[in-house]
Structure 1
Amino acid sequence: MTKHESPFRNFGLKSRIYVDKKQKKRLDVINKKLTSLRQQLAGSRQQADDLGELKELEDEIAKLEAEAAEIKANK
C-alpha cells in the first residue's frame, strides 16, 4: 500500500460509510418532513373542510414512513 492509498480500498468500507451517511441524512430529512406533515394533518383534521387534503397528507405520511422503514431495514 502506498502512502496515498486508502486502507479501506480493498474492503469496500469507504463506500459503505458514504452510504450510511447518505442514509442517515435521508432519514433526518424524512423525520423532519413527517413532523411537519403530521402537524398539517392535525390542523387539517380540525378544520375538516377538504377531505382530499386529508387523504393526500395521510398518503404522503404513509409513503415516507415506508421509505424510512426500508432504510432502517437495510442497515
Structure 2
Amino acid sequence: MFDYHIHSDFSADCETPMEETIRHAIEIGMKEICFTEHIDFDYPDPSIVFELDLPAYDKKNKRIAVGE
C-alpha cells in the first residue's frame, strides 16, 4: 500500500508531526509514503497561512533521515 499525499504539522491543515505519521505508516504496513506540504503564498482565504518554513522543514527531514 502506498500514500503519496500526506501532510505534516508543517502544513496549516495538519497538526501531526512527521515522526508520528511515519511510525503509524510502518505499523499499518505502508510500503511508501510521501509528504506533500502546502506552499500556497496567494491562498484566497487570509485566515489560513500556507507558507512552508523551508529551513525548518529541511532540518527536520535531515534529522529524521539519520534517525535522530
Superposition TM-score, scaled by structure 1 size = 0.27
TM-score, normalization: structure 2?
A: 0.28
Greater helix proportion: 1
Instruction: Kindly name which structure, 1 or 2, has the bigger radius of gyration based on alpha carbons.
Output: 1
Instruction: Give the structure with the higher percent strand.
Output: 2
